[in-house]
Amino acid sequence: MNVMEASGLGKRYGRTWALRECTLAIPAGYLAALIGPNGAGKTTLLNLAVGLAQPSTGAVTVLGGRPAGSPVALDGIAFVAQGTPVHKNLSVADMLHLTRNLNRRFDQAYAEARLAELDIPRNRRAGRLSGGQQAQLALTLALARRPRLLVLDEPVAMLDPVARHDFMATVAAAADDGVSVLLSSHVLADLERVANYLILLSRGRVQVAGEVDDLLGSHRMLTGPTGEAGRYSERPVVHVHRAEAQAHLLVRAGADDPVPPGWQAQPVGLEELALAYLREPAAAALPGLDAESSEVAK
Ligand X SMILES: Nc1ncnc2c1ncn2[C@@H]1O[C@H](COP(=O)(O)OP(=O)(O)OP(=O)(O)O)[C@@H](O)[C@H]1O
Residue 279 CB, nearest distance to ligand X (Å)? 17
**Cβ-based nearer residue to ligand X, 158 or 291:** 158
Residue 14 CB, nearest distance to ligand X (Å)? 6
Q: Interface residues with ligand X (CB under 6 A)?
A: 13, 16, 18, 36, 38-44
From CA 28, how far away is CA 149, in angstroms rounded? Answer: 8
Residue 178 CB, nearest distance to ligand X (Å)? 27
**Cβ-based nearer residue to ligand X, 26 or 237:** 26
CB 252 within 8 A of CB 258: no
From CA 93, how far away is CA 126, in angstroms rounded? Answer: 9
From CA 278, how far away is CA 296, in angstroms rounded? Answer: 12
* Burial classification of residue 116, based on how many CB atoms lie within 10 Å of its CB (0-12 exposed, 13-18 middle, 19 or more buried): exposed
Residue 52 CB, nearest distance to ligand X (Å)? 11
**Cβ-based nearer residue to ligand X, 153 or 280:** 153
Q: What is the distance, to the nearest Å, from the Cα of residue 136 to the centroid of all Cα atoms in its chain?
A: 18
**Cβ-based nearer residue to ligand X, 18 or 77:** 18
Shortest-Cβ-distance residue relative to ligand X: 18
From CA 84, how far away is CA 194, in angstroms rounded? Answer: 20
Residue 13 CB, nearest distance to ligand X (Å)? 3
Angle, helix 131-144 to helix 161-176, in steps of 10 degrees = 10
CA dist 97 → 90, 102, 129, 224 (Å): 10, 9, 18, 61
Residue 194 CB, nearest distance to ligand X (Å)? 19
From CA 10, how far away is CA 245, in angstroms rounded? Answer: 45
Can you point out the beta strands (E) in 131-276? 149-153, 180-184, 197-202, 205-211, 220-225, 237-242, 246-251, 264-267
Residue 204 CB, nearest distance to ligand X (Å)? 7
CB 177 within 8 A of CB 4: no
**Cβ-based nearer residue to ligand X, 49 or 62:** 49
**Cβ-based nearer residue to ligand X, 36 or 224:** 36
**Cβ-based nearer residue to ligand X, 51 or 236:** 51
Give the sheet arrangement for strand 220-225, strand by strand: 237-242, 246-251, 220-225, 264-267
Residue 83 CB, nearest distance to ligand X (Å)? 10
**Cβ-based nearer residue to ligand X, 36 or 51:** 36
CB 82 within 8 A of CB 23: no
